Structure 1
């Protein structure tokens, strides 16, 4: 499991590191609005900055989202299945679709980046000539990390098939709804009941 957790940590570190792109996007976009509409002096780099930052965030957040099981899935029926059946379905999908597709992404992305570096490709959408070969280099890098995370996810499926339950994931930031559900599960495990808010309100009135 230490190898799987190492891959999870790598995906988590990558995702959180590139999350700073959101701050750069926000500051850059705000600055562009200010100088364009108040000073009538638009920049020549804001558009390039926005799609480069968003592209980098989109690419490098993929492995992190997979490590948190955060990708959208049609789980109306899936969530009602036994965990071993869920693991079998996921394992088949990882092997048949995810890993081959990501392998193609790495291969083609490498050729894509190599060609871009060959002539020091620059943006054609602004007079600034912003370099975009660093962004294209992220395609095979993101593919590699996503491939490793896919192997870790497939290994989780194998462990679930063997043990009958999903192995725990590393603790991380959670949505409020998910945190509340986990608290409710812990209460049920310890035989505690959920506080009845209406009773408390009636007692307060009395």
Structure 2
């Protein structure tokens, strides 16, 4: 079970370390857009949309990595005051009752839209935009799968006998 958890962690670690550079690329493109528009009077819908695509990719594919590093938002009213056993129970409950079911529901309900987008190679959001909405929509199931894998890794680690310590 440890090897499986390590595999799921490795998948999200590789993806997270790769896509974190998108934040810098996104910043540079946005800076270029502002300079181009206000200094040179040029504009491109496709370049503007590229920031949207990069932003979506960064957050959708980075969610599993964020969960791996335990950097997700947590409403921590009582959790920090609890012992390891109670924290483990809360985390297991969260994975089984909320995270995995919500990702499965999102995966189920988004799949027809993703499938249809690929069937017609859905085009740009705006006239003159990037001709790849089908790629943008593919981030939704990728997001779900990466979060489910990381959740399963977390569950496997929480179920270890030494997890209470």
The question of a shared fold, defined as TM-score above 0.5 by the shorter chain, is answered with: yes
Q: Describe how 1:141-156 pairs up with structure 2 within 5 A.
A: 141-156=142-157
Q: Matches of 1:146 and 1:27 in 2, distance apart?
A: 28
Instruction: Structure 2: give runs of 5+ residues left out of the alignment.
Output: none
* 1:157 maps onto 2:163 in alignment: no
Choose between structure 1 and 2: higher helix proportion.
Answer: 2
Larger Rg: 1
Q: Matches of 1:164 and 1:145 in 2, distance apart?
A: 23
Structure 1 residue 92 displacement after superposition: 1.2
Deviates more, 1:124-133 or 1:6-15: 124-133
Q: CA offsets, 1:67-93, max 9 Å, x none?
A: 111111122321111101100111112
Q: Describe how 1:70-149 pairs up with structure 2 within 5 A.
A: 70-149=71-150
Q: Matches of 1:28 and 1:163 in 2, distance apart?
A: 47
Q: Is residue 35–residue 43 contact of structure 1 (8 Å, CA) maintained in 2?
A: no
Q: Is residue 45–residue 126 contact of structure 2 (8 Å, CA) maintained in 1?
A: no
Q: Matches of 1:150 and 1:28 in 2, distance apart?
A: 33
The secondary structure found in structure 2 opposite 1:120 is coil
* 1:56 maps onto 2:57 in alignment: yes
What TM-score, normalized by structure 1, do the two folds share? 0.74
* 1:5 maps onto 2:6 in alignment: yes
Q: Matches of 2:147 and 2:130 in 1, distance apart?
A: 31
What TM-score, normalized by structure 2, do the two folds share? 0.91
Q: Is residue 60–residue 142 contact of structure 1 (8 Å, CA) maintained in 2?
A: yes
Instruction: Structure 1: give runs of 5+ residues left out of the alignment.
Output: 167-206
CA root-mean-square deviation: 1.6
Q: CA offsets, 1:116-165, max 9 Å, x none?
A: 11222122324245321111112112211211111111122222xx3353
Look up the match of 1:33.
34
Q: Matches of 2:99 and 2:84 in 1, distance apart?
A: 20
Q: Matches of 1:150 and 1:124 in 2, distance apart?
A: 33
Q: Is residue 66–residue 72 contact of structure 2 (8 Å, CA) maintained in 1?
A: yes
The secondary structure found in structure 1 opposite 2:49 is helix
In structure 2, the CA distance between the partners of 1:149 and 1:48, relative to structure 1 (3 Å rule), is: same
Q: Is residue 106–residue 140 contact of structure 1 (8 Å, CA) maintained in 2?
A: yes
Q: Matches of 1:26 and 1:13 in 2, distance apart?
A: 22
